[in-house]
Amino acid sequence: MSFLKDTIFYSSSTLLTQLITFIRGIGVRAILIPEVLGIYNFIQVVLGFITVLDLGSSTAASRELPILRGKKAFEKENLIRSTVFWFTLLQSLVVGFGTIVYAIIYKDNYSNWEFAGFGIAALMLIISGSFSCYKIYFQSAQQYSSLSLIIFIVGVFEAVSFVGGAYFFGINGLLIAYVGISLIKTFIFIGKGYIENIGVGGEFSIKSLKELLVFGFPLKIIDYPKQYMMMIDILWVTALMDIKSLAIYTTSRLFYTQSTQISINMATVFETRIIQRFGREGSLSKIAVHIKNTYIFNC
């Protein structure tokens, strides 16, 4: 599929999903009172903090996999995918276990619901790590049409289940929908991945993992301050603003996110294509010409 078609499919599905998510949020907030909805928000905050604790293997894979695909080194590509998936799962299990240990140690500082929230956040870290890997695999293999379809379908089912769960069963229904849809999303990615021949096997290579971490970990170290500053920003703004001002702030952030989404998705499609082309041609001069032509087209 062409660069333009990939960009249109990927951007459209992402924007539509964001719109559906916005409507979903309005529906859930209309059903649940702020105090109850705060439990879900608490889980999101905890998940935001522990998700950042990543050593960078998947970040490195987003560069390495397109190169291997361009070289048609499919055996090495399969090995990298499997290694990154199983390492990410192990990493999530360790961080999730640490989160639960922290919750047990400081249990007296939290309510029963907040204590349960730590466990749900740890579970969601494990689940989200799995489908995040597959998202990178689809991007690296230029399977943007399949990825876009999955994003949109899951977004619709997520909205229906969140609102329906909250309406019929309150916060329990919302949390069950939250975990359940995430599991379904993971299974869809795994199933579609095998259909598109970008699945995961049982292989694991320590040597490949070391090579990935040498590239990916320094990038994550640089990214840590930014990610935590963004989390602190959200906590600070939430604590200082009243409900009306917070609504304006949240709406503004949403419009900003949507307005930049097309350029971000275009950059993602372009990045994976250019890296794959480098793996295929191995010529920086040809890549420079391709970058220049794409830049002129975007302008």
Predicted local confidence at residue 51, as pLDDT: 85
11: CB partners within 8 A, 6+ apart: 261, 262, 265, 266
Predicted local confidence at residue 163, as pLDDT: 93
The rounded distance, in Å, linking the Cα atoms of 39 and 163 is 16
The rounded distance, in Å, linking the Cα atoms of 198 and 186 is 14
Side-chain half-sphere of 60: how many Cα atoms within 13 Å? 25
Q: Which residue has the tokens 């320590």?
A: 206
The per-residue pLDDT string of the chain (299 residues; one tens digit each, 9 = 90 and over) reads 566 677 777 777 887 887 888 788 888 888 887 777 778 878 888 888 888 888 889 888 988 888 888 888 889 999 999 999 999 999 999 999 999 999 999 998 888 888 999 999 999 999 999 889 999 999 888 888 888 899 899 999 999 999 999 999 988 999 999 999 999 999 999 999 999 889 898 899 999 999 999 988 888 888 777 777 777 776 676 666 655 565 566 656 666 666 666 666 666 776 676 777 666 666 556 555 555 555 554 54
The rounded distance, in Å, linking the Cα atoms of 183 and 206 is 28
**129's tokens:** 């790590």
Distances 98 to 181, 254, 260 between C-alpha atoms, Å: 25, 32, 35
Predicted local confidence at residue 100, as pLDDT: 95
What b/e sequence results for 47-75 when a residue is b if at least 16 CB atoms lie within 10 Å of its CB, and e otherwise?
bbbbbbbbbbbbbbbbbbbbbbbbbeeee
**124's tokens:** 């969601």
The rounded distance, in Å, linking the Cα atoms of 116 and 25 is 22
Distances 240 to 41, 99, 163, 234, 235 between C-alpha atoms, Å: 17, 27, 29, 10, 9
Predicted local confidence at residue 20, as pLDDT: 86
Decide: helix, strand or coil at residue 53: coil
135: CB partners within 8 A, 6+ apart: 147, 189
Predicted local confidence at residue 30, as pLDDT: 85
Sign of CA dihedral 94, 100, 101, 102: positive
**2 phi/psi in degrees, rounded to 5:** -70, 165
The rounded distance, in Å, linking the Cα atoms of 206 and 204 is 7
DSSP state of 72: T
The boundaries of the domain holding residue 138 are: 3-298
Whole-structure pTM value: 0.83
Domain count, the chain: 1
